[in-house]
Structure 1
Protein backbone atom coordinates (compact mmCIF):
# COMPACT_ATOMS: atom_id res chain seq x y z
CA UNK A 1 0.00 0.00 0.00
CA UNK A 2 2.80 2.44 0.81
CA UNK A 3 4.38 1.69 -2.54
CA UNK A 4 1.28 3.04 -4.27
CA UNK A 5 1.43 6.29 -2.32
CA UNK A 6 4.93 7.03 -3.55
CA UNK A 7 4.61 5.81 -7.12
CA UNK A 8 4.80 8.29 -9.96
CA UNK A 9 1.58 9.14 -11.68
CA UNK A 10 0.77 7.14 -14.78
CA UNK A 11 0.93 8.84 -18.19
CA UNK A 12 -2.88 9.00 -18.28
CA UNK A 13 -3.02 11.21 -15.18
CA UNK A 14 -0.13 13.37 -16.34
CA UNK A 15 -1.71 13.81 -19.77
CA UNK A 16 -5.05 14.72 -18.19
CA UNK A 17 -3.35 17.41 -16.11
CA UNK A 18 -1.67 18.76 -19.25
CA UNK A 19 -4.95 18.64 -21.16
CA UNK A 20 -6.74 20.56 -18.42
CA UNK A 21 -4.07 23.30 -18.62
CA UNK A 22 -4.30 23.33 -22.42
CA UNK A 23 -8.09 23.72 -22.34
CA UNK A 24 -7.87 26.46 -19.72
CA UNK A 25 -5.43 28.43 -21.88
CA UNK A 26 -7.42 27.77 -25.06
CA UNK A 27 -10.54 29.20 -23.41
CA UNK A 28 -8.94 32.54 -22.53
CA UNK A 29 -11.52 35.14 -23.65
CA UNK A 30 -8.82 37.37 -25.15
CA UNK A 31 -8.30 35.00 -28.09
CA UNK A 32 -11.97 35.28 -29.02
CA UNK A 33 -12.82 38.85 -28.05
CA UNK A 34 -9.65 40.66 -29.11
CA UNK A 35 -8.08 38.41 -31.73
CA UNK A 36 -11.24 37.34 -33.52
CA UNK A 37 -10.89 33.58 -33.12
CA UNK A 38 -14.43 32.31 -33.77
CA UNK A 39 -16.09 31.44 -30.47
CA UNK A 40 -17.57 28.27 -31.93
CA UNK A 41 -16.96 24.55 -31.61
CA UNK A 42 -14.49 24.80 -34.51
CA UNK A 43 -12.71 27.83 -33.04
CA UNK A 44 -12.35 26.20 -29.64
CA UNK A 45 -11.06 22.99 -31.25
CA UNK A 46 -8.50 25.06 -33.14
CA UNK A 47 -7.26 26.74 -29.97
CA UNK A 48 -7.01 23.41 -28.13
CA UNK A 49 -5.16 21.91 -31.12
CA UNK A 50 -2.72 24.84 -31.18
CA UNK A 51 -1.86 24.50 -27.49
CA UNK A 52 -1.70 20.70 -27.66
CA UNK A 53 0.71 21.09 -30.56
CA UNK A 54 2.96 23.29 -28.43
CA UNK A 55 3.07 20.77 -25.59
CA UNK A 56 3.57 17.76 -27.88
CA UNK A 57 6.32 19.64 -29.70
CA UNK A 58 8.14 20.17 -26.39
CA UNK A 59 7.79 16.49 -25.50
CA UNK A 60 8.90 15.26 -28.94
CA UNK A 61 12.23 13.45 -28.97
CA UNK A 62 12.67 13.67 -25.20
CA UNK A 63 12.66 9.96 -24.38
CA UNK A 64 10.22 7.15 -23.75
CA UNK A 65 8.50 8.71 -20.76
CA UNK A 66 7.84 11.98 -22.61
CA UNK A 67 6.65 10.03 -25.66
CA UNK A 68 4.18 8.08 -23.51
CA UNK A 69 2.78 11.28 -22.01
CA UNK A 70 2.57 12.90 -25.47
CA UNK A 71 0.71 9.91 -26.92
CA UNK A 72 -1.63 9.84 -23.96
CA UNK A 73 -2.23 13.59 -24.37
CA UNK A 74 -3.24 12.98 -27.99
CA UNK A 75 -5.53 10.13 -26.90
CA UNK A 76 -7.07 12.34 -24.18
CA UNK A 77 -7.77 15.08 -26.72
CA UNK A 78 -9.45 12.61 -29.08
CA UNK A 79 -11.50 11.09 -26.24
CA UNK A 80 -12.67 14.55 -25.21
CA UNK A 81 -13.66 15.36 -28.79
CA UNK A 82 -15.59 12.07 -28.92
CA UNK A 83 -17.41 13.00 -25.70
CA UNK A 84 -18.11 16.51 -26.99
CA UNK A 85 -19.55 15.24 -30.27
CA UNK A 86 -21.88 12.90 -28.41
CA UNK A 87 -22.96 15.73 -26.09
CA UNK A 88 -23.99 17.93 -29.00
CA UNK A 89 -26.08 15.13 -30.43
CA UNK A 90 -23.94 13.54 -33.12
CA UNK A 91 -25.23 9.99 -33.55
CA UNK A 92 -23.20 7.01 -32.38
CA UNK A 93 -22.74 5.76 -35.93
CA UNK A 94 -21.38 9.11 -37.14
CA UNK A 95 -18.96 9.80 -34.27
CA UNK A 96 -16.11 7.58 -35.55
CA UNK A 97 -16.17 9.31 -38.94
CA UNK A 98 -16.05 12.74 -37.27
CA UNK A 99 -13.24 11.62 -34.95
CA UNK A 100 -11.23 10.27 -37.88
CA UNK A 101 -11.58 13.61 -39.66
CA UNK A 102 -10.62 15.52 -36.51
CA UNK A 103 -7.54 13.34 -35.97
CA UNK A 104 -6.48 13.86 -39.59
CA UNK A 105 -7.07 17.58 -39.14
CA UNK A 106 -4.98 17.64 -35.97
CA UNK A 107 -2.12 15.90 -37.75
CA UNK A 108 -2.42 18.42 -40.58
CA UNK A 109 -2.21 21.32 -38.15
CA UNK A 110 0.84 19.81 -36.48
CA UNK A 111 2.57 19.57 -39.85
CA UNK A 112 1.53 23.12 -40.80
CA UNK A 113 2.64 24.65 -37.51
CA UNK A 114 5.94 22.71 -37.53
CA UNK A 115 6.62 23.92 -41.05
CA UNK A 116 5.62 27.48 -40.20
CA UNK A 117 7.93 27.62 -37.18
CA UNK A 118 10.81 26.20 -39.22
CA UNK A 119 10.50 28.60 -42.15
CA UNK A 120 11.93 32.12 -42.04
CA UNK A 121 9.33 34.85 -41.99
CA UNK A 122 5.69 34.58 -41.05
CA UNK A 123 3.99 33.73 -44.35
CA UNK A 124 3.63 29.99 -43.69
CA UNK A 125 2.16 30.51 -40.21
CA UNK A 126 -0.16 33.24 -41.47
CA UNK A 127 -1.40 30.87 -44.17
CA UNK A 128 -1.86 28.05 -41.64
CA UNK A 129 -3.80 30.30 -39.26
CA UNK A 130 -5.91 31.73 -42.08
CA UNK A 131 -6.76 28.22 -43.29
CA UNK A 132 -7.33 26.61 -39.87
CA UNK A 133 -7.75 28.92 -36.88
CA UNK A 134 -9.67 31.51 -38.89
CA UNK A 135 -11.05 29.06 -41.46
CA UNK A 136 -14.64 30.22 -41.02
CA UNK A 137 -13.81 33.94 -41.05
CA UNK A 138 -14.30 35.74 -44.36
CA UNK A 139 -11.54 38.35 -44.00
CA UNK A 140 -8.98 38.02 -41.25
CA UNK A 141 -7.27 41.26 -40.21
CA UNK A 142 -3.52 41.07 -40.72
CA UNK A 143 -2.96 42.19 -37.13
CA UNK A 144 -4.82 39.09 -35.87
CA UNK A 145 -2.61 36.81 -37.95
CA UNK A 146 0.48 38.67 -36.77
CA UNK A 147 -0.60 38.49 -33.12
CA UNK A 148 -1.30 34.76 -33.26
CA UNK A 149 2.00 34.14 -35.05
CA UNK A 150 3.83 36.13 -32.42
CA UNK A 151 2.00 34.25 -29.68
CA UNK A 152 2.84 30.84 -31.15
CA UNK A 153 6.52 31.73 -31.56
CA UNK A 154 6.71 33.19 -28.05
CA UNK A 155 5.06 30.19 -26.42
CA UNK A 156 7.21 27.77 -28.41
CA UNK A 157 10.36 29.52 -27.19
CA UNK A 158 9.10 29.66 -23.60
CA UNK A 159 8.26 25.96 -23.56
CA UNK A 160 11.76 25.09 -24.79
CA UNK A 161 13.03 26.31 -21.42
CA UNK A 162 10.16 24.91 -19.37
CA UNK A 163 11.57 22.06 -17.26
CA UNK A 164 10.92 18.78 -19.06
CA UNK A 165 10.55 16.84 -15.82
CA UNK A 166 7.74 19.16 -14.77
CA UNK A 167 5.98 18.75 -18.11
CA UNK A 168 6.33 14.98 -18.03
CA UNK A 169 4.82 15.16 -14.53
CA UNK A 170 1.76 16.89 -16.00
CA UNK A 171 2.57 20.57 -15.48
CA UNK A 172 2.73 23.33 -18.07
CA UNK A 173 2.54 27.09 -17.89
CA UNK A 174 1.57 29.33 -20.77
CA UNK A 175 2.06 33.06 -20.98
CA UNK A 176 -0.89 35.46 -20.84
CA UNK A 177 -3.12 35.43 -23.89
CA UNK A 178 -3.18 39.23 -23.89
CA UNK A 179 0.56 39.24 -24.60
CA UNK A 180 -0.28 37.88 -28.07
CA UNK A 181 -0.79 41.40 -29.35
CA UNK A 182 2.49 42.64 -27.88
Structure 2
Protein backbone atom coordinates (compact mmCIF):
# COMPACT_ATOMS: atom_id res chain seq x y z
CA UNK A 1 0.00 0.00 0.00
CA UNK A 2 1.12 3.51 -0.72
CA UNK A 3 1.72 6.03 2.02
CA UNK A 4 -1.91 6.91 2.73
CA UNK A 5 -2.53 9.94 4.92
CA UNK A 6 -5.81 8.92 6.52
CA UNK A 7 -5.40 11.39 9.37
CA UNK A 8 -5.97 14.23 6.94
CA UNK A 9 -9.43 12.79 6.23
CA UNK A 10 -10.53 13.16 9.82
CA UNK A 11 -9.46 16.68 10.72
CA UNK A 12 -13.01 18.04 10.99
CA UNK A 13 -15.53 17.15 13.66
CA UNK A 14 -18.41 14.83 12.78
CA UNK A 15 -21.47 16.60 11.43
CA UNK A 16 -24.93 15.81 10.18
CA UNK A 17 -25.26 14.25 6.75
CA UNK A 18 -28.38 16.34 6.09
CA UNK A 19 -27.87 19.04 3.50
CA UNK A 20 -28.21 22.60 4.81
CA UNK A 21 -31.18 24.55 3.41
CA UNK A 22 -28.91 26.81 1.32
CA UNK A 23 -26.82 23.96 -0.16
CA UNK A 24 -26.46 24.03 -3.95
CA UNK A 25 -26.76 20.22 -3.87
CA UNK A 26 -30.25 20.41 -2.39
CA UNK A 27 -32.97 19.46 -4.87
CA UNK A 28 -36.58 20.31 -4.27
CA UNK A 29 -39.49 20.40 -6.67
CA UNK A 30 -41.05 23.81 -7.15
CA UNK A 31 -44.42 24.22 -5.48
CA UNK A 32 -46.57 26.10 -7.93
CA UNK A 33 -50.23 26.86 -7.42
CA UNK A 34 -53.12 27.46 -9.77
CA UNK A 35 -52.70 27.34 -13.53
CA UNK A 36 -48.93 26.68 -13.39
CA UNK A 37 -49.48 23.63 -11.21
CA UNK A 38 -52.29 22.40 -13.47
CA UNK A 39 -50.12 22.79 -16.58
CA UNK A 40 -47.16 21.03 -14.99
CA UNK A 41 -49.43 18.25 -13.77
CA UNK A 42 -50.86 17.80 -17.28
CA UNK A 43 -47.29 17.68 -18.65
CA UNK A 44 -46.53 14.92 -16.09
CA UNK A 45 -43.95 17.04 -14.24
CA UNK A 46 -45.27 15.73 -10.92
CA UNK A 47 -45.57 12.09 -12.07
CA UNK A 48 -43.75 9.44 -10.05
CA UNK A 49 -41.38 8.78 -12.96
CA UNK A 50 -40.51 12.47 -13.44
CA UNK A 51 -39.88 12.90 -9.72
CA UNK A 52 -37.69 9.79 -9.72
CA UNK A 53 -35.66 11.03 -12.69
CA UNK A 54 -35.08 14.42 -11.03
CA UNK A 55 -34.19 12.67 -7.77
CA UNK A 56 -31.77 10.34 -9.57
CA UNK A 57 -30.08 13.33 -11.19
CA UNK A 58 -29.71 14.97 -7.78
CA UNK A 59 -28.25 11.81 -6.20
CA UNK A 60 -25.89 11.31 -9.11
CA UNK A 61 -24.77 14.93 -8.84
CA UNK A 62 -23.89 14.23 -5.20
CA UNK A 63 -21.92 11.15 -6.21
CA UNK A 64 -19.91 13.07 -8.79
CA UNK A 65 -19.37 15.97 -6.41
CA UNK A 66 -17.47 13.54 -4.14
CA UNK A 67 -15.60 11.82 -6.95
CA UNK A 68 -14.53 15.09 -8.56
CA UNK A 69 -13.24 16.67 -5.33
CA UNK A 70 -9.44 16.83 -5.14
CA UNK A 71 -9.45 15.73 -1.47
CA UNK A 72 -9.85 12.02 -2.18
CA UNK A 73 -6.99 12.09 -4.67
CA UNK A 74 -4.77 13.97 -2.24
CA UNK A 75 -5.49 11.75 0.77
CA UNK A 76 -4.82 8.53 -1.12
CA UNK A 77 -2.12 10.11 -3.29
CA UNK A 78 -3.87 9.16 -6.49
CA UNK A 79 -3.12 10.68 -9.84
CA UNK A 80 -6.24 12.30 -11.27
CA UNK A 81 -6.63 10.44 -14.54
CA UNK A 82 -9.69 9.20 -16.37
CA UNK A 83 -9.02 5.65 -15.13
CA UNK A 84 -8.76 6.71 -11.48
CA UNK A 85 -11.82 8.95 -11.63
CA UNK A 86 -13.79 6.20 -13.39
CA UNK A 87 -12.73 3.65 -10.74
CA UNK A 88 -13.83 5.97 -7.93
CA UNK A 89 -17.10 6.64 -9.73
CA UNK A 90 -17.77 2.90 -10.01
CA UNK A 91 -17.01 2.42 -6.30
CA UNK A 92 -19.40 5.23 -5.30
CA UNK A 93 -22.08 3.91 -7.66
CA UNK A 94 -21.74 0.46 -6.12
CA UNK A 95 -22.20 1.89 -2.63
CA UNK A 96 -25.35 3.78 -3.66
CA UNK A 97 -26.86 0.97 -5.74
CA UNK A 98 -26.15 -1.58 -3.01
CA UNK A 99 -27.93 0.62 -0.47
CA UNK A 100 -30.89 1.20 -2.78
CA UNK A 101 -31.22 -2.55 -3.38
CA UNK A 102 -32.11 -2.90 0.31
CA UNK A 103 -35.21 -0.75 -0.33
CA UNK A 104 -36.74 -3.44 -2.53
CA UNK A 105 -38.38 -2.99 -5.91
CA UNK A 106 -38.71 0.82 -5.67
CA UNK A 107 -35.07 1.18 -4.66
CA UNK A 108 -33.91 -0.98 -7.55
CA UNK A 109 -36.03 1.04 -9.98
CA UNK A 110 -34.64 4.31 -8.60
CA UNK A 111 -31.14 2.82 -8.92
CA UNK A 112 -31.85 2.16 -12.59
CA UNK A 113 -32.56 5.87 -13.13
CA UNK A 114 -29.26 6.70 -11.40
CA UNK A 115 -27.47 4.13 -13.57
CA UNK A 116 -28.89 5.71 -16.73
CA UNK A 117 -27.66 9.12 -15.56
CA UNK A 118 -24.27 7.54 -14.81
CA UNK A 119 -24.07 6.05 -18.32
CA UNK A 120 -24.80 9.42 -19.90
CA UNK A 121 -22.18 11.11 -17.71
CA UNK A 122 -19.53 8.48 -18.48
CA UNK A 123 -20.18 8.91 -22.19
CA UNK A 124 -19.63 12.67 -21.81
CA UNK A 125 -16.46 12.06 -19.77
CA UNK A 126 -15.10 9.68 -22.42
CA UNK A 127 -15.79 12.25 -25.13
CA UNK A 128 -14.19 14.99 -23.01
CA UNK A 129 -11.12 12.74 -22.61
CA UNK A 130 -10.74 12.89 -26.39
CA UNK A 131 -12.39 9.66 -27.54
CA UNK A 132 -14.73 10.42 -30.40
CA UNK A 133 -14.10 7.42 -32.62
CA UNK A 134 -15.20 4.00 -31.45
CA UNK A 135 -17.21 5.54 -28.60
CA UNK A 136 -19.61 2.58 -28.54
CA UNK A 137 -16.69 0.16 -28.18
CA UNK A 138 -15.27 2.22 -25.28
CA UNK A 139 -18.64 2.34 -23.57
CA UNK A 140 -19.02 -1.45 -23.83
CA UNK A 141 -15.55 -1.93 -22.31
CA UNK A 142 -16.34 0.49 -19.48
CA UNK A 143 -19.63 -1.31 -18.85
CA UNK A 144 -17.75 -4.62 -18.54
CA UNK A 145 -15.36 -2.99 -16.06
CA UNK A 146 -18.31 -1.54 -14.13
CA UNK A 147 -20.08 -4.89 -13.77
CA UNK A 148 -16.80 -6.73 -13.13
CA UNK A 149 -15.95 -4.38 -10.27
CA UNK A 150 -19.48 -4.62 -8.86
CA UNK A 151 -19.16 -8.41 -8.74
CA UNK A 152 -15.72 -8.13 -7.08
CA UNK A 153 -17.07 -5.73 -4.45
CA UNK A 154 -20.11 -7.90 -3.75
CA UNK A 155 -17.91 -11.00 -3.45
CA UNK A 156 -15.59 -9.15 -1.09
CA UNK A 157 -18.42 -8.47 1.36
CA UNK A 158 -20.07 -11.87 1.12
CA UNK A 159 -20.19 -13.99 4.29
CA UNK A 160 -17.49 -16.28 2.85
CA UNK A 161 -15.06 -13.38 2.31
CA UNK A 162 -12.20 -12.68 4.66
CA UNK A 163 -12.05 -9.43 6.62
CA UNK A 164 -9.46 -7.80 4.32
CA UNK A 165 -11.05 -8.77 0.99
CA UNK A 166 -12.95 -5.51 0.44
CA UNK A 167 -9.93 -3.36 1.27
CA UNK A 168 -7.76 -5.40 -1.10
CA UNK A 169 -10.31 -5.29 -3.93
CA UNK A 170 -10.77 -1.53 -3.59
CA UNK A 171 -7.01 -1.02 -3.54
CA UNK A 172 -6.55 -3.16 -6.69
CA UNK A 173 -9.39 -1.59 -8.65
CA UNK A 174 -8.45 2.01 -7.84
How high is the TM-score relative to the length of structure 2?
0.67
What does the per-residue CA deviation read over 1:14-51, in whole Å, with 9 as the maximum and x for residues that have no partner?
21111100011112322111212331111111111111
Runs of 4+ in 1 over 3 A off after TM superposition: 5-10
1:78 aligns to what SS in structure 2? helix
Q: Alpha carbons of 1:58 and 1:40: their partners in 2 closer, same or farther (altered >3 Å)?
A: same
Match 1:57 to one of 98, 112, 115: 98
Q: Gapped runs of 5+ residues in structure 2?
A: 1-36
Name the structure where helix makes up a greater proportion of residues: 1
Match 1:76 to one of 117, 125, 130: 117
What does the per-residue CA deviation read over 1:34-78, in whole Å, with 9 as the maximum and x for residues that have no partner?
212331111111111111111100111423321221111111111
1:10 aligns to what SS in structure 2? helix
Of structures 1 and 2, the one scoring higher in RCO (CA 8 A, sep 6+) is 1
Q: Is residue 116 from structure 1 mapped to residue 152 from structure 2 by the alignment? A: no
Match 1:37 to one of 78, 83, 86: 78
Summarize the alignment of residues 101-180 of structure 1 with structure 2, pairs less than 5 Å apart.
101-118=141-158, 119-122=161-164, 124-133=165-174
2:78 aligns to what SS in structure 1? coil
Q: Gapped runs of 5+ residues in structure 1?
A: 134-182
Q: Does the CA contact (< 8 Å) of 2:82 and 2:129 recur in 1?
A: no
Tell me the distance in 1 between the aligned counterparts of 2:69 and 2:132. Answer: 30
Q: Alpha carbons of 1:84 and 1:28: their partners in 2 closer, same or farther (altered >3 Å)?
A: closer
Q: Is residue 90 from structure 1 mapped to residue 127 from structure 2 by the alignment? A: no
How high is the TM-score relative to the length of structure 1?
0.64
Root-mean-square deviation over aligned CA pairs: 2.0
Aligned length: 131
